[in-house]
Amino acid sequence: MGKIYIPTTGPQCWQALLADPSKQWRTGYSARTLANCWEAADGLPSEVAALFGSDAELLIAIPEHKVSLRDAGRESQTDLFALIKANHRTIAVAVEGKVNETFGPLIKNWYSEPSPGKQQRLKFLCDRIGIECPPPDALHYQLFHRTASAILEAERFKTDDAAMIVHSFSPEDKWFDAYAAFLHLLGLAAERERLVSKKLHNGRILHFGWAKGDARFLNA
């Protein structure tokens, strides 16, 4: 993974960073919708800024940011990684863009007859998030590694807080129930357009938020 980044000149620059550029870059799908929204904002989209407060400021954003999970498996490829400053604190933020796409496989499918590598990975993710392993079967694996990515990057960049934000452009808030079930495991009650938070064992605050994106970007 390279460590030198070049500023984008528009949404089209995001396409080449996708795992499957031809398949994933489609009108009405999350990758293209998220890119158009964030590029148009030239900073934080208003719905994301509203989660963090009136003084929230985007310091840097990196599309399709890969985060090592400290094993031999695939990295977690975050739709957008951002460093945000708000309330005199810096926050490492993993942004997951969503329209109608699911949060990927359930734990019961991903962890069926797990290899030693999967056992090691899931234990690592659960330890980072602060929950028992293995977690409930009906939760989505993606939410675990995306949340852990935010925590790992908060440690790496020595930010005050970490956050995992779902930036949803679904008019029906599709998959909010899956997000809420994951937060319930952490002892949190999910709310739309509002941060909920918990303290990690390392003292950092971990935030979660569901931001409702502007539907006009579905046609961009």
**How many angstroms separate the Cα of 92 from the Cα of each of 7, 70, 124?**
19, 18, 19
Average pLDDT over all residues of the chain: 96
pTM more than 0.85: yes
- In this prediction, residue 72 carries a pLDDT of 80
- In this prediction, residue 3 carries a pLDDT of 84
Q: What are the boundaries of each domain within the chain?
A: 17-219
Q: Is the pLDDT of residue 214 over 80?
A: yes
Q: Is the pLDDT of residue 184 over 80?
A: yes
Can you tell me the distance from the alpha carbon of 59 to that of 79, in angstroms, rounded to the nearest whole number? 17
- In this prediction, residue 162 carries a pLDDT of 98
Q: Is the pLDDT of residue 116 over 80?
A: yes
Q: Is the pLDDT of residue 1 over 80?
A: no
- The larger pLDDT score, comparing residue 66 to residue 1, is at 66
Answer for the pair 47, 212: CB distance below 8 angstroms, yes or no.
Answer: yes
Please state the rounded mean pLDDT for residues 12-23: 93
Can you tell me the distance from the alpha carbon of 98 to that of 168, in angstroms, rounded to the nearest whole number? 5
Beta bridge partners, 140, equal 106
Q: Is the pLDDT of residue 65 over 80?
A: yes
Please state the rounded mean pLDDT for residues 157-169: 98
Backbone angles phi, psi at 165, to 5 degrees: -115, 130
Q: Model confidence over 131-150: pLDDT tens digits?
A: 999 999 999 999 999 999 99
Percent of the chain topping pLDDT 70: 100
